[in-house]
Amino acid sequence: CPFLVKHLTNCIPVIGGGLFVFVVITLLQTSFTDPGILPRATPDEAADIEKQIDNTGNSSYRPPPRTKEVLINQQVVKLKYCFTCKMFRPPRTSHCSLCDNCVERFDHHCPWVGNCVGKRNYRFFYTFIVSLSFLTAFIFGCVTTHLALS
């Protein structure tokens, strides 16, 4: 960086620092924003679901079915049952085995940000990836310029 400041312009470290700060801010936003975790069913709600399934009065335990069909806007939608959270999940909701939560519009669990990427933090994750790409291209350009000028 001192070589480029001396031979090109003083703006190089300012641009690099600004990009770095923006990348760190978007990383923190992605890491600390709720990805869309759905609350688990309370014990009363779980018991109610089991009563709805076993309405014959039989006291033997039967696990709930894996799917349930619901009519929404004259469209039949299948809801899947999550045995861990004890609830029927909306479409595009998945259970993350690492976080042990159901996440709405679950994309993936990112180990780099230490959080799931879902409905509520996807835009922050996308901004993080794009800004990190710009920072990487900027650093690559600085290295290439340094090698060309020296």
The C-alpha atoms of residue 111 and residue 93 are separated, in whole angstroms, by 19
CA nearest 38: which of 107, 81, 94, 97? Answer: 94
- Element counts in the chain: helices (H) and strands (E): 4, 8
Instruction: Please report, in angstroms and rounded to a whole number, the separation of the first and last CA atoms in the chain.
Output: 13
Q: What's the angle, vertex CA 24, arms to CA 21 and CA 26, rounded to 5? A: 110
Provide the annotated active-site residues: 110
> Nearest 5°: phi and psi at 43?
-55, -35
Q: Which residue is associated with the tokens 């770095």?
A: 20
Q: Which residue is associated with the tokens 């014990």?
A: 43
